[in-house]
Amino acid sequence: MLYTDPRSVIRLDGGSLVRVFVNCGLREQQQPLHKRIRRLERLVWWIMLDKARKIWKLLEGQRLRYAGATAALIVASCFLYLAPLVPQITIDGVIARDPERASPFVKRMVELLGGQSFVADNLWLPCVLILGITGIAGLFTYFRGRLSAKACETIIRDVRDRVYDQLQHLSCSYFDKTETGDLIQRCTSDVDTMRNFLSMQIVEIGRAMVMLLVPIPLMLAIDVPMTIVSVLLIPIVSGFSFVFFIKVKHAFKESDEAEGAMTTVVQENLTGIRVVRAFARQEYECEKFEQKADAHRRLDYRLYYILAWFWSSSDLLCFTQRGLVVGAGAYWLATGRLQVGEYFYFITAVNMFIWPVRMMGRILTDLGKALVAFDRLNEILDAPRETMPTPDETPEVIQGEIEFANVTFSHVTSKEPVLHDISFRVEQGKTLALVGQSGSGKSTIVNLLLRFYDYQHGSIRLDGRELKHIDRQFIRSQSSVVMQEPFLYSKTLRENLVIGRPAAGEDEMMEATAVAAVHESIIDFDDGYDTMVGERGVMLSGGQRQRVALARALLADPAVLILDDALSAVDAETEDMILTALRTRRGRHTTIVIAHRLSTLLHADEILVLHHGRVVQRGTHGQLLGQKGLYRRLWHIQTSSSAASDDAIVPGTTTSQAAENAPA
């Protein structure tokens, strides 16, 4: 199977890839070895090609810039290697006063400059030449940096924007099954790794290649044996570092893991600090931490130790290469085969290309990290978006007539349906109330109506149109929902309020906040409506957040208004005020209310009592009170208690107005 379409393997991690190899080997033992190897080769090529293709695609739009950067790099390197030629020529052709021994090339160059005696009298000329050549090299180096930076930053901005856009368009079920922390990490540190790859690694690899390739013809032109000596150890240097970093990969990983374990201990200790104190276990915890921190120290030190060996031995190789040039050059210099200037040139050139070559191994191993990050990002980018079918006919405006007919729904992750065979109908401007314990499916009805999830069986109609055929965004733009734990953006209160209708005037906003009974609380803040919400501003209490969200929903003046346990953190008295105010708006919205306090639902046109995803009772408050059943029992319990209480303070779940405003 895996053989036939190698691309299916690509998503597997390294470990499983190895398993695949092994399995292939076992399963197809009868095949001759060379055939198997060829297949494996093809597999590896597929993977590499696929990666290359993906990276190539990533560079889209910036390829020209990268090409420009490469060209600038080549030009810059040429000039950079030209620079030491100037002292070489000057020394051999002019200063050495031994023009006969100089190579024909040097002689011609000196002639070009105006002859030996002319240059000797005007030694500022080579000085200016060196400066000019290095300056040009510098200029092109700058161009290269500029172009590749522009290309890289543009791509990264694009990637960030794409990821952000994608996140917002993924379906709700995607977020149900992924962890927030993991997602955030992909969006931030994986993007950073990619950026590193694009801005540093690609460029460095290119630089090492160019730096190595450009001087070779020049060196060959000067002296062939000397050139061979100059690059003798290059394959060993680059091979050594590459093999080395592959070999010690596990040491890096172990050190990372030890750090992770240590961080976990700190995290757990600080989260459970009350428990630690309550049992006076500080010493025990310190020991536990020290143990982990010490393990981290040891592994980290081992890493340093390994790296010490690596850098010193690879430096030894590089120095040996340089030493070979110095030594062989000295010998040939002594025998007269080489000129002083030429000798100088080789020493300088080796110094220029040996260090980038040494870095290659490190970069190539880091490449693996970048590819992993790239894959992780692609997992987000390739995830299916919420489908947005082009609607057959988009209605101008929604009136707000809702009908559920035999709707059954279950989440992708489980077979057990959350809703069974739900049917109801709400006329435009009427109010439907949903009652039931948590998990009975109330919120799911709301989620289906807003097309957060798509229903599998039955039909939902909005103004007589099948919901599946109406654009999601259109439905949402025509309805407003207030959730039990509403989310406010870290903006000012005003900005949060007018999100639903940016064109709303000041007085309309005030009216909405008045109905939601939050106006007074807002003007109590130092900055009033311009108070920042969230981390960088004030932290609102649950009740305040709910009321701001309600005002936001009301300001939007939607056709469908959904209150999903939206006043649970608001005290009874304030809730009454809000409900009374809302009643004056009756008929403006089709309303769906979910609430625990039955008094909230008194005036609903129809009440559905849900239990385990089924409707067990339905009717108006009066009708339900007349029936035997859950509703009546709940009602009696609640009324008998509220008779005894005024604006009572309830322990636990319900936060009172007093508590909200009390200093924490």
Nearest approach in angstroms of CB 318 to another protein is 10
663 binds another protein (CB under 8 A): yes
- Chain positions 329 to 368 lying near another protein, rule: CB under 8 A, are 330-331, 333-336, 340, 343-344, 347-348
CB atoms within 10 A of CB 265: 17
Q: Which stretch binds another protein (CB under 8 A): 16-24, 39-47, 237-245, 636-644?
A: 636-644
Instruction: Please name the amino acid found at residue 97.
Output: R
Reference 234, options 330, 362, 322; nearest CA is 322
Query: Pattern of binders to another protein over 400-429, x per CB under 8 A?
Result: ------------------------------
Q: Please tell me the total number of residues recorded for the chain in this structure.
A: 664
Q: 554: burial class by Cβ within 10 Å (0-12, 13-18, 19+)?
A: buried
* Full DSSP string of 585-597: TTTSSEEEEE-SS
* Residue 87 vs 361, nearer CB to another protein: 87
- Chain positions 490 to 549 lying near another protein, rule: CB under 8 A, are 490, 499-500, 535
- Please give the Cα distance from 337 to 351 (Å, whole number): 22
Burial 521-536, CB ≥16 within 10 A → b, else e: bbeebeeebebbbeee
- Please give the Cα distance from 328 to 322 (Å, whole number): 10
Name the β-bridge partners of 409.
Answer: 419
The conformation of residue 438, written as its DSSP 8-state character, comes to T
Kindly tell me which residue out of 4, 413, 414, 640 binds another protein, with binding defined by CB under 8 A. 640
* Residue 68 vs 500, nearer CB to another protein: 500
Instruction: Please name the amino acid found at residue 472.
Output: R
Nearest approach in angstroms of CB 143 to another protein is 8
117 binds another protein (CB under 8 A): no
- Chain positions 294 to 333 lying near another protein, rule: CB under 8 A, are 294, 296-298, 300-301, 303-305, 307-309, 311-313, 315-316, 319-320, 322-323, 326-327, 330-331, 333
* Residue 150 vs 369, nearer CB to another protein: 150
Q: Which stretch binds another protein (CB under 8 A): 86-94, 217-225, 369-377, 390-398?
A: 86-94
Query: Pattern of binders to another protein over 118-137, x per CB under 8 A?
Result: --x--xx-xxxxxx-xxx-x
* Residue 32 vs 663, nearer CB to another protein: 663
Cβ atoms of 387 and 467 within 8 Å: the answer is: no
* Residue 9 vs 574, nearer CB to another protein: 574
What's the token pair of residue 283?
């010493």
E strands along 211-345, which residues? none
- Chain positions 14 to 43 lying near another protein, rule: CB under 8 A, are none
* Residue 20 vs 550, nearer CB to another protein: 550
384 binds another protein (CB under 8 A): no
196 binds another protein (CB under 8 A): no
Alpha helix positions (H), 2-103: 14-27, 33-58, 63-82, 85-89
Cβ atoms of 470 and 395 within 8 Å: the answer is: yes
Kindly tell me which residue out of 36, 39, 107, 281 binds another protein, with binding defined by CB under 8 A. 281
- Please give the Cα distance from 621 to 606 (Å, whole number): 8
- Please give the Cα distance from 208 to 212 (Å, whole number): 6
- Pairing verdict, β 457-462 and 465-466: antiparallel
* Residue 258 vs 432, nearer CB to another protein: 258
* Residue 14 vs 502, nearer CB to another protein: 502
- Please give the Cα distance from 533 to 539 (Å, whole number): 6
161 binds another protein (CB under 8 A): yes
Instruction: Please name the amino acid found at residue 263.
Output: T
- Chain positions 451 to 490 lying near another protein, rule: CB under 8 A, are 452, 472-473, 476-477, 479-481, 483, 486-487, 489-490
Query: Pattern of binders to another protein over 239-268, x per CB under 8 A?
Result: --------------------x--xxx-xxx
H or E stretch covering 555: helix 542-556
236 binds another protein (CB under 8 A): no
213 binds another protein (CB under 8 A): no
- Please give the Cα distance from 16 to 9 (Å, whole number): 9
387 binds another protein (CB under 8 A): no
As a whole number of Å, the CA-based R_g of the chain is 37
Q: 143: burial class by Cβ within 10 Å (0-12, 13-18, 19+)?
A: middle
Kindly tell me which residue out of 248, 504, 602, 630 binds another protein, with binding defined by CB under 8 A. 630
Nearest approach in angstroms of CB 124 to another protein is 5
Q: Which stretch binds another protein (CB under 8 A): 363-371, 403-411, 618-626, 645-653?
A: 645-653
* Residue 6 vs 486, nearer CB to another protein: 486
* Residue 132 vs 505, nearer CB to another protein: 132
What's the token pair of residue 37?
């190897």
- Chain positions 87 to 106 lying near another protein, rule: CB under 8 A, are 87, 90-91, 94-97
Instruction: Round to the nearest angstrom and report the end-to-end CA distance of the chain.
Output: 62
